[in-house]
Amino acid sequence: MANSAVTMEKLVSLCKARGIVFPGSEIYGGMGNTWDYGPVGVEIKNNIKRAWWKRFVFESDNSYGVDAAILMNARVWEASGHTTSFSDPKMDCKTCKTRHRADNLIEAHSKGTVDTDLLTNEQMQEYIEAHHVCCPVCGNFNWTPIRTFNLMFETSRGVTDESQNKIYLRPETAQGEFVNFMNVQRTTRAKVPFGIAQIGKAFRNEITPGNFIFRTIEFEQMEHQWFCREGTDEEFYQEYKKRAMQFLLDLGFKAEHLRFHDHEKLAHYAKEACDIQYLYPMGWQELNGIHNRTDYDLTRHQEYSGKSLTYLDPVTGEKFIPYVIEYSIGADRLMLAVLSEAYEEETLEGGDVRSVLHFHPAIAAYKAAVLPLQKNLAPQAKALLAKLKKHFSVTYDEAGSIGKRYRRQDEIGTPYCITIDFDTLEDGTVTVRDRDTMSQIRLSMDELPTFLMEKCAF
């Protein structure tokens, strides 16, 4: 297990109790596999997205962002192949009426020794029959045949019932980058190789959603498409594998909790593909994907739209359709990994146990909590809070003993607690307590912005 203290139950209950993630539509009894981010969770998730954007847009050479529409012309999904082949092999248990993915059933039965990427639907059916793979819910062997099931959510657009056209909620953000290839190239005057990045919602009618925010029907993707010349693609694919891994290591993941998994069976568009897997509480699972998509996407969009997506190299005068190296990571899936990696139940001297989230300070919802030692120090504490708020997201707590207040901040991963006491009135200094070591130092209030800026930089 990634972290011996953490279980999915503990994470779900911590998230609910501390305003990180709530079940979706909870007062109506919920809506399966939808989740709402609470006051602390929205900050953590935004910080994850910010750190990613900083690394892959601001700090990347020749990379540009877009924010494309979720609803796209339906022809986009014909060109991308999603209308015909974005599907999973599903089986229904006729006894308990639950729905399952045939590939997942085989993976669980074979304890991961069978690579279902290499099997056709017929071969999966044969495996399930030959090994008498039973329903994991009711234990019966009473399956419907494998059927494929398109994962795109459909909706319709039109002003009258008769004129309604079928459109889709995008199942991935990537197509928004591809259809804007020329717009971005022209307006930025970028030369190939260059990148287009996007963070946005995607929707999939998953057959087996679950494991909290790991697999949901609505989620956010952070994607970076690198457009390059054929022949340089292999080098850039290797580079993106390294960059993707380095980003996770810099966020504080332990190297032994991450691994590459190369795909043997490739998607119709891919020349090479791999995942980075993380050791989640439920085992090794995909955290992100890196794909060499060749010139498939731009070629198809050129064909289906009738618009040229051919790049003219200004130096050599050559015309070509660029290859694409795609790096894609789910913001929610990364957040689950971040929480799981950070969680610790630490036994303190004297036997007390504290729960703490040790994540990178840049990810923390609040960079600091301002705590007056006693309530009558509240005016001074609030004045400091107002000053710090100009620079950072900070919180305030005056309820309960100082020890209890530290514990509450530890649970949501606030890296620094700043205590205002009676010495503050004399000399303008405060106590700064470190979340991880619990050690305390004395700093002047004037030094705090620089101190926090340096400690919380990513």
Q: What's the closest the beta carbon of residue 126 comes to ligand ATP, in angstroms?
A: 23
- For ligand ATP, the closer of residues 221 and 431 by Cβ is 221
Q: What's the closest the beta carbon of residue 172 comes to ligand ATP, in angstroms?
A: 6
Q: How far apart are CA 417 and CA 432, in angstroms?
A: 6
- For ligand ATP, the closer of residues 47 and 221 by Cβ is 221
Total number of residues shown for the chain: 458
Tell me whether residue 85 is exposed, middle or buried, using C-beta atoms within 10 angstroms of its C-beta: 0 to 12, 13 to 18, 19 or more.
Answer: exposed
- For ligand ATP, the closer of residues 174 and 371 by Cβ is 174
What is the per-residue DSSP string for 280-293? ETTEEEEEEEEEE-
- For ligand ATP, the closer of residues 103 and 410 by Cβ is 103
* CA distances in angstroms from 171 to 190, 217, 275, 289, listed in the order given: 28, 9, 18, 15
Cis peptide bond N-terminal to 193, omega within 30: yes
Phi/psi zone of residue 428: left (φ > 0), alpha (ψ -120 to 50 degrees), beta? Answer: left
List interacting residues with ligand ATP (CB under 6 A).
172, 204, 206, 215-216, 219, 221, 286-289, 328-330, 332-333
Quote the tokens at residue 44. Answer: 């953590």
Q: Is the dihedral of CA 189, 46, 364, 204 positive or negative?
A: negative
Contacts of 379 (CB under 8 A, 6+ apart): none
Q: What's the closest the beta carbon of residue 216 comes to ligand ATP, in angstroms?
A: 5
Q: What's the closest the beta carbon of residue 333 comes to ligand ATP, in angstroms?
A: 4
Q: What's the closest the beta carbon of residue 2 comes to ligand ATP, in angstroms?
A: 16
Q: How far apart are CA 151 and CA 145, in angstroms?
A: 18
Long-range pairs for 213-218: beta carbons < 8 A, 24 or more residues apart: 213/21, 213/35, 213/332, 213/333, 213/335, 213/336, 214/280, 214/282, 214/285, 214/332, 214/333, 214/336, 215/33, 215/333, 216/33, 216/34, 216/35, 216/332, 217/33, 217/34, 217/153, 218/34
- For ligand ATP, the closer of residues 280 and 311 by Cβ is 280
- For ligand ATP, the closer of residues 288 and 424 by Cβ is 288
Task: Name the residue with the smallest CB distance to ligand ATP.
Answer: 330
| Three-state DSSP class for residue 440 | strand
What is the per-residue DSSP string for 142-183? -BPPPEEEE-PPEEEE-SSSTT-EEEEB-S-SHHHHHHTHHH
Contact 304, 316 (CB under 8 A): no
Q: What's the closest the beta carbon of residue 64 comes to ligand ATP, in angstroms?
A: 20
Q: What's the closest the beta carbon of residue 152 comes to ligand ATP, in angstroms?
A: 12
- For ligand ATP, the closer of residues 332 and 397 by Cβ is 332
Q: What's the closest the beta carbon of residue 210 comes to ligand ATP, in angstroms?
A: 10
- For ligand ATP, the closer of residues 215 and 241 by Cβ is 215
Q: What's the closest the beta carbon of residue 261 comes to ligand ATP, in angstroms?
A: 10
HSE, CB side, 13 Å, CA atoms: give it for residue 224: 29
Q: What's the closest the beta carbon of residue 23 comes to ligand ATP, in angstroms?
A: 16
- For ligand ATP, the closer of residues 33 and 414 by Cβ is 33
Lateral strand order in the sheet of 87-92: 99-101, 87-92, 147-150
- For ligand ATP, the closer of residues 51 and 448 by Cβ is 51
The single residue listed with the structure tokens 């991308």 is 80
Q: What's the closest the beta carbon of residue 244 comes to ligand ATP, in angstroms?
A: 10
**Nearest-CA neighbor of 433 among 408, 401, 396, 406?**
406
- For ligand ATP, the closer of residues 196 and 394 by Cβ is 196
